[in-house]
Amino acid sequence: MTDTDNTATLLKYFPTLSSSQLEAFARMDSLYADWNSKINVVSRADIGNLFSRHILHSLAIAAFFGELAPGTEIMDLGTGGGFPGIPLAVMYPHCRFHLIDRIGKKIKVASEIAASLDLKNVTFQHGDAGECHKKFDYVVSRAVMSLDGLVKIAVRNTLRSTPRKNRYSPGLVCLKGGNLEEEIAAAGDRPVIEIPVTDFFNEDCFDTKEIVYVPL
């Protein structure tokens, strides 16, 4: 897809995006391609599909959230090269994002790309989530670990209550694929809400993808 096609797709699903937001999304392709040639954070076979498989996929969480109140704080657990955190930070400039990953070179790429995009609402942490003692409105994640592991971390790092008026109460929001029955069973008695990404995006590449929300 061309930059024009990508912009048209973004406006199809998010018609209120500003020109500066659209420019930031357009720049991600070349920024990631350049950094990926030096430090491999996206599969080399996948870098040509960065928009659909990484940027737009990450924005499924934004489609789920809808509007977020100013000051909402979000941890991106296992961010890798910055997904879903960086696309979400562009989408929500009035919210704050903390991106964590155990692999230092991935955090380096994500931080350099955030700097190139002049994102002021993103912080980074190289290390384990257990080393982060902050509380967040939401923990988000994409293809990092099983649901039971994510829930344990989110319980520790998510606010139990918040005065912010968001559509969803504090909790875990993650992107998953495939059959999730065993993962959900292993996550215990907490309510788990599954929403197909195709409820938000009419794109064939998301046929097997789901948003999983666990209110905490």
Chain position carrying tokens 């980074």: 124
Confidence of residue 2 (pLDDT cuts 50, 70, 90): confident
Q: 19-33, 39-53, 99-113, 193-207 — which is least confidently predicted?
A: 39-53
Give pLDDT, residue 151. Answer: 92
For 10-27, how does the pLDDT look when each residue is reduced to its tens digit (9 = 90+)? 999 999 999 999 999 999
Q: What is the mean pLDDT of residues 57-83?
A: 97
Give pLDDT, residue 105. Answer: 95
Give pLDDT, residue 118. Answer: 97
Task: Name every residue whose Cβ is closer than 8 Å to that of residue 184 and which is 6 or more positions away in sequence.
Answer: 147, 192, 194, 212
pLDDT at residue 48 greater than cutoff 90:
no
For 130-187, how does the pLDDT look when each residue is reduced to its tens digit (9 = 90+)? 899 999 999 999 978 899 999 999 999 998 777 889 999 999 999 998 888 888 887 8
Give pLDDT, residue 1. Answer: 64
Round the average pLDDT of the chain to a whole number and report it: 93
pLDDT at residue 188 greater than cutoff 90:
no
Residue 84, amino acid? P
pLDDT at residue 4 greater than cutoff 90:
no
pLDDT at residue 3 greater than cutoff 90:
no
For 86-123, how does the pLDDT look when each residue is reduced to its tens digit (9 = 90+)? 999 999 999 999 999 999 999 999 999 999 999 999 99
pLDDT at residue 76 greater than cutoff 70:
yes
Confidence of residue 84 (pLDDT cuts 50, 70, 90): very high
